[in-house]
Amino acid sequence: MSYIHYARGLAGAYSTFLDRLAEDLESNGISVLFEREKARSPMTISCGKEKGQIAVRLSGPDLEVSFQGQGLTTGEATSLAILVAERVTDIDEEMRAMLDARDEGLPATADIGMELHDIFRELLVVREEIDLLKIAGEDVGRPKRRVERAEKLYQEASDALKKGETLTARAKIQAMQLMVEKAEASLGEIGGEKI
């Protein structure tokens, strides 16, 4: 399977996008090999017997992210290709949410703390739903990955708040909210209704 995804308006975050993508893929058990210094920055990836290559290129104000599976029939949707497509889309949306939050200005620290607390409570509910579906034998890989990323963003937002970095905290909170919402949407696709 091959595809191209355009991360609109993220050309200025090229290195951050590459680092985040490599970190995310590795945390999902995918072997990643790439040289960041090259303009195309091709990443050779593999998971089990599946292999492929991801290239991230500058395309005006956007990033063009392409994936090409190796040794596959054109259009064949493998588990690696599906995971890469999911992760690229999530990272794009997460980074855009963080940039949008920075553009909104400086909110009050108390308001940010309350918002972080509210989203964390929502995250705990989603985590519980995932655990229940896992016990029921459902495949919860997609929502679990999103919840794990939301938990990491929660910790990063908490740390930023403690340091008084309210803009960074706000950006992390918006990205966390997006990941929680995407996890909830993924749960809705599993086994009909949520538990």
pLDDT at 194 over 50: no
Neighbours of 189 (CB within 10 A): 10
> Range with the lowest mean pLDDT among 63-72, 95-104, 156-165?
95-104
HEC states along 88-124?
HHHHHHHHHHHHHHHHCCCCCHHHHHHHHHHHHHHHH
Q: How confident is the model at residue 29 (pLDDT cuts 50, 70, 90)?
A: confident
Please tell me the pTM assigned to this model.
0.64
Measure the CA–CA gap between 116 and 161, rounded to whole angstroms.
10
For residues 157 and 117, give the distance between their C-alpha atoms in angstroms, rounded to a whole number.
11
Residue 93 above 80 pLDDT?
A: yes
3-state secondary structure of 163: coil
